[in-house]
Structure 1
Amino acid sequence: MLDSVRRNEFASAAIEFWRGDNESLQYLGDSANYVYSFTKSGETNYLRLTSSCDRTKEQIEAELDFISYLHRSGVSAALPIASVAGRLVEEIAFANGFLFACAFEEAEGERFRYDSAKSNKEHFRLRGRTLGQIHAISKDYIPSGSFRIFAWDEDKLLLDVENFLPKSEKIAWREYDALKERLRDYPKSNQTFGLIHGDFGETNYRYQNERLNIFDFDDCCYHWFAYDLAITIYPHGWRKEGLQLLEWLIEGYSENLRLNATLADLTMFCQWRLLYMFLVHARKWGFEHLSDEQARWFSQKRENLARGYQWYS
C-alpha cells in the first residue's frame, strides 16, 4: 500500500496525461485501486490507478474494450477517456512494476440508498433488468484486440490466496476449498455462464431518468450469471423482505434473459461472495496490527461464513 504522500504524487503525475486540473484532484478511496476525481474543462472525470501486481495491462485493455462494447450496445456504462496521446491506459513506473492509469467519464445521477419504509419494487426490477441486459448483450461480445478478460478462477485474488490467508483461518480455508470444488463441477452453458460485471453493488451505479448509469468494471470476468445477481442481493438477504427483493430482481432480469438458477444456487453464490469479500479484506488488511473495528469485522464475517449464507425466516 502506498502512503498518502506517494499516492498523491502518482495521481498528480497521472492526470497530466489527460491535462486535468491538478488543484481539483480529490482522493476517493482504495478498495482495490486508487481512485480520484478531477476536473478537466469544467467536467468531472475519474482517475483510477491499478497496480501491475493486481492486473496486467492486457486485462485492463480487455475491460475497457468490453465497457465500450456495452455502451455501443445500449448499456449506460461510464466510458473510458483517451489521454492526450490517444491511449486509454497510461503507465507509470512503480517499485518493481507499474501503476496503470485510466480515466473515466462521470456516471451521472443519484446514489441509491435503501429505505425499508419505501417500496423498492421498481428499483430492484430495474437492477435485475440492467443485469439481464448486460448478460444478454455480453454473449455476442468479441474482443477487438488480442487481449482477453480473465475467467473467475484466474482472478489474481484467488491465485495469490496462499500468500495472504494464513492456515490458522480455518473457517475461510474450509469454505474456500469446498466452494471452489463445487464451482469446478457446476454446470456451464451459454445460458448460465459468460461475462459479468463482477461488483454490481449500490456504490457502482447511479440512478437517472429511470436508468442505471454503471461504472467500475474492474472485476468483470467470465463467471456464472447467477453470481452477478448474488452480488447485488446478498447484502439484503437478512432483511425480512429479502426474498421479496430477490423475486423482484429476478422478475426484472427475466425481461432480458431467463435465469437458470434455483434459490439453492443463488444461496451458494451468496456464500461465495461472503468468502470473496473476506479474502479481499484479508489481502488488504492482513491479520496483524488490526484496529478494533477491523478485528470486529473479521470476527463477524467468520461467524457468517461458519453459519452459511441465510435468508430471513
Structure 2
Amino acid sequence: MIREIEEQFTEEILTEAIKRYDINKDTVRSLGGYESFVYEYQKNNAFFILKISHTIRRSRNNIRGEIEFINFLSNKGLAVSNAVPSTRGNMVEEIAAENGSFLAISYEMSLGKEVSDEDWNESLYEKWGEFLGKIHHATKGYEWRNPAFKRQAWDQEVQLKAEKYLRPDDVMISILKERLTKLTSLPKSKDTYGLIHSDFSQSNFYLHNGDIYLFDFDDCSYTYFVNDIGITLCYALFFPYKEFENKTEYYRLFFRHFIKGYLKENTIQEEEIEYLQESIKLRYVLQYIYFHQANDVSNLDEESMNRLKEIQQIAASDEPMLPIDFVHDFKSIYNSIH
C-alpha cells in the first residue's frame, strides 16, 4: 500500500463509502488489499466487493476506463466481475480527503472459489491460456467511447512510478529504461498490442465448475500481448500453488499447456515469444519499484533488506530468468496444432 494513501484512510472514509452504496455495515468484511482497500459485503442475498482507491493512484476517469473495458469483455461473453452503481447511480463515488480524494467502486463477487493445489494441473494451465487468448483476441476490436477514459500505456506508468519512488542515482532506473526499450522495439499493431488485464495471476480469478471467472482489472493498461503473457508466467511459474520436485520439468509442462490453450483463441508469432524471458525479468523490476513505493527502504529490517537485494539481483541479471527455451517449446506446440 502506498504510505500516503494508508496514512489518510480513516473509519469515516469507509463509513461514507458504505453509506453511498447503501450497505449494511454488519455484512462488511475486510479482504485486505495491496494497492487499494478491499471489502466483501452482502446485499439482497448476493455478495459484492467494495474497493476504495485514491486519486494518488487513479483518477476518476482512469476507473471509468477500467469499467468500460470490463463491460466490453463481458459483452464479448467473457466471465468477468462487473461493476455495480451506487445508490446515486454513479459507477465511481468520490470522497474528499486531506490530499486528493478516495474513490469507491463496487463489483459483483465472482462466482466460484479460490484456486487451490487440487486445481493446479494441466487442465487449469490450458484454460488459463485460453482465457488470456480470448482477452487478447477481443481487445483487437476495442475502442474507447470517450478519449478521457483511455487507460495509460503500461511502460509509461511503470516509468513514472520509478521516477517517483526511486532515488535518481538508483541503478534500477537505467536497467528499467533498457528493458523498456527492448519491449517497445517490438512491432506494434492490433495483433501484438492492445488494452489488457496486466495482472492475470492465480489470485485474481476464481474457478466455478472448472471455468475461470476473472476480476481485479485495476492495472488494465496498453501493452504488448507477450508482456501480458510474461506477467502471468511470472506468477504461475515462480509461485505455483503446488510443490514440484523438478521445477524445470514443471516450467515446461505449464508453458506447453498454457500456450496450447492460448493458441486456440489467439495468434502470436515466434518473434514475440523470443521476448518472454525479458518480460518476466521486467516484472521483477516492477516488484523492486513496488517495494520502494510501500516501504521506507532506509529503515528496513534484515529480512526485508535481503528480500529487496534479491529482487534487485534478479531484475538486473543478464542471464535468462528460467532454464527453458520458450521459443523451442512454442514451435513444437504451434506445429502440432497447425
Further displaced range: 52-61 or 1-10:
1-10
Alpha-carbon contact 2:49-2:109 (below 8 Å) kept: yes
**For 1:74, what is the secondary structure of its paired residue?**
coil
Superposition map of 1:1-313 within 5 A:
1=3, 2=5, 6-114=9-117, 120-146=121-147, 147-155=149-157, 157-167=158-168, 169-170=170-171, 172-237=172-237, 239-240=247-248, 241-261=250-270, 262-307=272-317, 308-312=319-323
Whole-angstrom CA distance in 2 between matches of 1:22 and 1:4: 23
Alpha-carbon contact 1:250-1:259 (below 8 Å) kept: no
1:102 deviates by: 0.2
1:145 deviates by: 3.1
**For 1:288, what is the secondary structure of its paired residue?**
helix
Letter in 2 for 1:137: A
Further displaced range: 128-137 or 33-42:
33-42
Whole-angstrom CA distance in 1 between matches of 2:285 and 2:44: 43
Whole-angstrom CA distance in 2 between matches of 1:152 and 1:5: 27
Match of 2:243 in 1: none
Match of 2:334 in 1: none
Letter in 2 for 1:243: R
**For 1:130, what is the secondary structure of its paired residue?**
helix
Q: What value does the CA root-mean-square deviation take over the aligned residues?
A: 2.1
1:169 deviates by: 3.6
Whole-angstrom CA distance in 1 between matches of 2:151 and 2:223: 11
Q: TM-score if structure 1 supplies the norm length?
A: 0.91
1:84 deviates by: 0.7
Whole-angstrom CA distance in 2 between matches of 1:87 and 1:166: 39
Letter in 1 for 2:53: T
Higher relative helix content: 2
Alpha-carbon contact 2:202-2:236 (below 8 Å) kept: no
Decide whether aligned partners of structure 1 residues 150 and 162 sit closer, same or farther in structure 2, where only a CA change above 3 A counts.
Answer: closer
1:61 deviates by: 0.2
Whole-angstrom CA distance in 1 between matches of 2:304 and 2:111: 32
Whole-angstrom CA distance in 2 between matches of 1:151 and 1:46: 27
Letter in 1 for 2:76: S
1:224 deviates by: 0.5
Whole-angstrom CA distance in 2 between matches of 1:174 and 1:144: 36
Letter in 2 for 1:272: L
Whole-angstrom CA distance in 2 between matches of 1:3 and 1:229: 31
Alpha-carbon contact 1:243-1:311 (below 8 Å) kept: no
1:95 deviates by: 1.7
What percentage of aligned pairs have identical amino acids? 24
Whole-angstrom CA distance in 1 between matches of 2:57 and 2:159: 11
Decide whether aligned partners of structure 1 residues 216 and 309 sit closer, same or farther in structure 2, where only a CA change above 3 A counts.
Answer: farther
Decide whether aligned partners of structure 1 residues 212 and 10 sit closer, same or farther in structure 2, where only a CA change above 3 A counts.
Answer: same
Q: TM-score if structure 2 supplies the norm length?
A: 0.85
Alpha-carbon contact 1:164-1:286 (below 8 Å) kept: no
Letter in 2 for 1:190: K
1:142 deviates by: 2.2
Alpha-carbon contact 2:8-2:98 (below 8 Å) kept: no
Unaligned 5+ runs, structure 2: 239-246, 325-338
Letter in 2 for 1:245: F
Cα deviation per residue 1:166-205 (whole Å; 9 max; x = unaligned)?
24542x2242121122223222111111111010001100
Whole-angstrom CA distance in 1 between matches of 2:6 and 2:232: 32
Further displaced range: 81-90 or 260-269:
260-269
Further displaced range: 89-98 or 263-272:
263-272
